[in-house]
Amino acid sequence: MPDVPAAFALAPHPAFARPRGPVALIVMDGVGVGPADEGNAWHLARTPYLDRLMTAPVRGELAAHGKAVGMPSDADMGNSEVGHNALGAGRVFDQGAKLVANAIADGSVFEGTAWREIVGACADGGTLHLMGLWSDGNVHSHVDHAYALLDDAVNHGARRVRFHLLLDGRDVGETTALDYVAPLEAKLEALRAGGVDARVASGGGRMITTMDRYEADWDIVARGWAAHVHGDARRFPSATTAIDTFRKESPGIIDQYLPPFVVADDDGPVGPIRDGDAVVFFNFRGDRAIEITRAFEAAPGAFEAFDRGRVPEVTFAGMMQYDGDLQLPKRFLVSPPAIDRTLGEYLAKNGLRQLAVSETQKFGHVTYFFNGNNSEPFDRETERYVEVPSDRVDFAQRPWMKAAEITDATLAAIDEQGPAFVRVNYPNGDMVGHTGQLFPAIVSMEALDLALGRLVDGVLARGGIAIVTADHGNCEEMFSRDKKGAFVPREDGNGYKPLTSHTLNPVPCVIVGGGAGASFVWSAPESPGLANVAATVLTLLGFAAPRDFRPSLVRQLL
């Protein structure tokens, strides 16, 4: 046994003993519990294994949105980042959206050194560039945050401002870009009338431009860099004109896939980023902000992902620090949540072997986010991380994704490593749900069902226990609803308007296995949520959870 620090000592559980096999936490990403109707891909899919699993005796539902995962209000949907933070932390921490909103409300964001340095660069004649996801989805960003930065900068002397807009259509309605761009253009026009040179300079759909994650496709970042920094993309007189033109040229295209564009006048692009400028990437969520941050901050010769060409010397800041281990970015406006003593760290300090597996699209969720925003293992001797490379393709064309390969890799690694705890993420329900296409989402659930059945049966056959849950809802609601709850018809009358965002639905949680001697039941704690899962894992491993963890979801059958 290792020499366990006192702060991480785990007492034996008085009623539970560790099973012969692993305790496996299996996350069906983006699979919530929704109405059994024609917009529910899970309901419409043939999922015999899940159907049987959902009748298991130890099961319930968990809150995966709003205050249960640290969001500002229960009107805020959850997401994979805050969901995996809660799963791994065992407690609820205020998350990026809430932290930023509070810092703006109390003015502390404007009093910090980082913001003063940004404003100082603008006062010295530099241009302020505000870059990020332009919507109020509150998953990666919120337009209100950027407006607050704009107003304060102008009040403190900024006289030249450029926006670089990443269009959403994923966390908000799929074709709502103009609902957000038009008010911005109107505000900037009013600023110009008052003597402030404020314009939209560039933009593009988030899945095409800038917002790659986990190094899945650096070409996305390269396109954004070319447009934002060099003014190198198709030119238009305004962002509105660009969006309208792309829609006319590609009927049915949704915002997240709109090509990159540059706003230009008779003198050329209106807002390339130059030496002496200030740049704020105003997304608060880290996964899709890290790569563009690296492009801005990496020294010459230390960046090989793509040819950056001219690299401007700028004052760069992120809304938050996106990776604490790598200290990216060096300058940030709001401190991220300080998540300590996660489940993974407790197990590492106590010498238990751990295994984390997913494909590229969600690999960081079972590692970085699950570990409380730490990218490195706590103990390389006992932790093993397995990444299955994702396909670089529209996931509606590959709805099965890498579910089979994830299962293969997990079972093989269990046999090789003999871990006590395993965590796995199947991205299908989320990544295919975000496409807004019902049939591929149905296929994704059927592929998940096959893979899940093999994995759960494999865990049980090895004497383990499987906890099957999700991090938030998505594919169970593929159509938009009006305020009365009815599906919203498409404008062309052909079916219903797709819903590409996450949902407010609870997620399932089923616990099976443990061998013939298993005799535990659902404990029904008050307001169960994702943060209750960490204590549940510890309980099933035979440990008493720390006192400040949310209580376990299981208790011994008397």
What pLDDT score does 1 carry?
59
Section 370-389 average pLDDT:
94
Give 239-307 as a 3 state SS string.
HHHHHHHHHHHCCCCCHHHCCCEEEEECCEECCCCCCCCEEEECCCCCCCCHHHHHHHHCCCCCCCCCC
- pLDDT(214) > 80: no
Cα 459 vs. chain centroid, distance in angstroms?
A: 27
The rounded distance, in Å, linking the Cα atoms of 500 and 483 is: 17
Instruction: Write the CA distances from 174 to 139, 150, 224, 516, integer angstroms.
Output: 15, 26, 20, 49
The rounded distance, in Å, linking the Cα atoms of 227 and 288 is: 17
SS3 category, 160: strand
DSSP 544: P
Which value, to the nearest 10 degrees, does the dihedral of the CA atoms of residues 511, 409, 414, 52 take?
A: 20
337 pLDDT band, cuts 50/70/90, is confident
What pLDDT score does 558 carry?
60
- Where in the sequence of the chain do the CATH 3.40.1450.10 domains occur? 97-334
Section 363-380 average pLDDT:
93
- pLDDT(517) > 60: no
Closest CA to 213 of 67, 449, 471, 430: 430
- pLDDT(428) > 70: yes
Cis peptide before 251 (omega within 30 of 0): no
Closest CA to 136 of 55, 58, 188, 75: 75
Task: Name the pTM for this structure.
Answer: 0.82
- pLDDT(499) > 60: yes
Six-digit token string for 271: 């807002």
What pLDDT score does 363 carry?
95
Q: Cβ-count burial of 417 within 10 angstroms (0-12 exposed, 13-18 middle, 19+ buried)? A: middle
Quick check: 336 and 96 in contact, CB under 8 A?
yes
- Interstrand relation of 507-513 and 59-62 (parallel, antiparallel or unpaired): antiparallel
The rounded distance, in Å, linking the Cα atoms of 480 and 168 is: 16
Six-digit token string for 80: 């994979």
What pLDDT score does 515 carry?
64
The rounded distance, in Å, linking the Cα atoms of 120 and 529 is: 44
556 pLDDT band, cuts 50/70/90, is confident
- pLDDT(125) > 70: yes
- Interstrand relation of 261-265 and 234-236 (parallel, antiparallel or unpaired): parallel
What pLDDT score does 531 carry?
98
What pLDDT score does 71 carry?
86
The rounded distance, in Å, linking the Cα atoms of 335 and 136 is: 21
What pLDDT score does 317 carry?
98
Residue 358 is among the residues annotated as catalytic for this protein: no
* Helix 403-417 with 438-461: angle, nearest 10 deg: 20
What pLDDT score does 519 carry?
81
Six-digit token string for 73: 């209000």
Please identify which residue in the block is written with the tokens 């933070």: 85
Six-digit token string for 540: 């099933």
Q: Which class does domain 97-334 fall in?
A: alpha beta
**Lowest pLDDT segment from 265-274, 340-349, 479-488, 505-514:** 479-488
String of DSSP letters for 452-498: HHHHHHHHHHTT-EEEEE-SSB-TT--B-B-TTSPBPBPTTSSSB-B
What pLDDT score does 338 carry?
87
The rounded distance, in Å, linking the Cα atoms of 145 and 149 is: 6
Section 471-485 average pLDDT:
93
- pLDDT(254) > 80: yes
The rounded distance, in Å, linking the Cα atoms of 368 and 292 is: 18
Quick check: 305 and 341 in contact, CB under 8 A?
no
Quick check: 496 and 480 in contact, CB under 8 A?
yes
Superfamily of domain 20-94+339-556: Alkaline Phosphatase, subunit A (3.40.720.10)
In sequence order, the 6+-apart residues with CB closer than 8 A to the CB of 558 are none
CA torsion sign for 441, 444, 450, 453 is negative
Options 73, 80, 335, 375, the catalytic residue: 80
